[in-house]
Structure 1
């Protein structure tokens, strides 16, 4: 079984409802995922985005830059009694999404991997392991670029973000 980083853009009203009714939030997530599964919108047009198995690699790389927002796990809890795959979901408020979008936009992937030795990821037991070659660092590039586009679109819409591992 894989661990996948998941994101859902939500309006302020949807975030408020999710905080009040976590069961509604999970049903809403599933509804959006199902709707977008067939159409596969680009990250800038999507409400749902996945970083696939790169979530931990991106967490490791962003931590090296003292990234100002936790875009991998979120920052605020809700549905603490729920398990959406690998623990409860979390969220980012719109102002944190905007800060994250700006930081993602100004931190390109080449900067993230500059000076990184794949052995560092292996030593840190970064999921999903297998960091034996320098070229393995390129694996996260398309997901990082997609995440950047997704956050920029959310920031433009003044959306909040639900985050979870599934």
Structure 2
């Protein structure tokens, strides 16, 4: 399971609101570009998404306002792709999440980091996987923050999906 995200222009947001079937096309496209390569998503937290969510909320699945919405929040939209439907953040929600991520205290997140507690909560990709490392999660958190900050600055909506 990996989390990917895409920033949406105003026209793309309207297309999604008009027809949720557009979600898959926007997230996955034709699945190959002109060179036969898979396109890179604008956000790819790979398997660190669940550990990042834990750092932001202190929980496995609960969603809290602000930064705690960044990974599992948003409004469900479209078909269930096996790990739930995609989630849509309006431009207003994107700005709120971006502002909350701006205000995060990295030392507080480091203090929350507890690989054994995360394993006990089955934070993906546990059990049996190597215990999470804070620096890896911090790097993914930086990517997540950059993604939301860029979308907020451009007045864009966001689509996220776990696939």
- TM-score class normalised by the smaller sequence: 0.7 to 0.9
Contact 1:68 1:100 in 2 (8 A): yes
TM-score, normalised to structure 1, is 0.79
Q: CA deviation at 1:108?
A: 4.5
Alignment of 1:143-162 (within 5 A): 143-162=140-159
Q: CA deviation at 1:23?
A: 2.5
Q: CA deviation at 1:119?
A: 1.2
Contact 1:122 1:131 in 2 (8 A): no
Equivalent in the alignment of 1:43: none
TM-score, normalised to structure 2, is 0.80
Regions of 4+ moved over 4 Å: 32-35, 37-40
Give the RMSD, CA atoms, in angstroms: 2.6
Q: CA deviation at 1:146?
A: 0.9
Contact 1:74 1:162 in 2 (8 A): no
Equivalent in the alignment of 2:55: 61
Q: Decide which structure has greater helix share.
A: 1
Q: Do the aligned partners of residues 131 and 78 (structure 1) sit closer, same or farther apart at CA in structure 2, a change above 3 Å counting?
A: same
Q: CA deviation at 1:112?
A: 1.4
